Amino acid sequence: MFLITPIAKILQDLTVLTWDFWLTMYNLITPKRRIGHVVPEGHPGFGGQWPEYISPKEGDSRCSCPAINAMANHGILPRDGRNISFTELGKLIRATYNFSPSFCFFVPNFAANMLKKSYRKDTFDLSELDLHNGIEHDGSLLREDSALVPDQGEPHIPFIKELLASATGKDKDGNPLLTPADLSRYSAKRRVDARATNPHFTLSTFHKIFGSSNSSTLLTIFGGRVKDLEPILIEERLPEGWESRIRGRMGLTMTTFNKTVLRVELGINEKKYIAENKQNTLAGPNGDSTTALTAAETAV
């Protein structure tokens, strides 16, 4: 078991945040990566050429993060999702999705501490990342709550289709895009619905921010593009020719990312969702919406 002292953790976090700030500044003054060259040459996915996609087999380990599962499904991570080093995970996420080096240290290091493992020495299986109320949390946009479905490695297709169908934005060619407001609205729905259907529902402020971070990845790395998100979220497959929409030289920093996170989180209004859907949403088995809504209203 590996434990980091509180003082060491504070110093480490301050160092990472300072590093991240300067990477953000560097992105502002340097040219962006050229389209078609976001993934480094020599890394799987360079030029949009992703390795063969193979769906997971029985016994393979997967987690609640589609982007990480896609890396295993394409063989960028071990296809069985097992015995992955935290340091290697960060390096591969950076090359695949163009997150910043600071981001790619902070998140795997957080996961290692969550699992009481050494970031530099230990390995993990993907399913271990779904320790409840560690990174995985209730009210997910893409999964049912773990109290209802313990295996968080499987996407819940109805949620995903409903989310993608809620897109109100359009790109210059008229293709549908998810917007921050769309993610805020659907997050409100999922939180209310999960609270009403899961008797063990919990969602701390910390995990609300984590949930909005997941939403923000759809908007930043994936650009909110429904055409790309459909295979990524449903099949956990990277489309041929796809590359990260983040082209900054140092990738997506936490400083930049958190602007989108806050925009999504501050736009979530559960009470508004309840008021707008009181008659036809969260209906009980006899078509009576009052029981479920009363429970949700009381909690909110």
pLDDT tens column, 105-118: 999 999 999 999 99
**pLDDT the model gives residue 232:** 98
Confidence at 291, pLDDT banded by 50, 70, 90: very low
Confidence at residue 9, expressed as pLDDT on a 0 to 100 scale: 85
pLDDT digits (tens, 9 = 90+) for 270-289: 999 999 888 554 455 554 44
Task: Output the pLDDT for position 299.
Answer: 60
pLDDT at residue 296 tops 60? no
Please tell me the pTM assigned to this model: 0.91
How high is the mean pLDDT of the chain? Answer: 93
What is the Rg, in whole angstroms, of the alpha carbon atoms belonging to the chain? Answer: 19
Given this model, what pLDDT does residue 6 score?
A: 84
List the domains of the chain with CATH numbers: 21-279 (1.10.489.10)
Q: How much is the average pLDDT of 171-185? A: 97
What is the per-residue pLDDT for 284?
53
Over residues 195-208, the pLDDT tens digits come to 999 999 999 999 99
According to the model, what pLDDT value does residue 8 have? 86
Give pLDDT, residue 276: 87
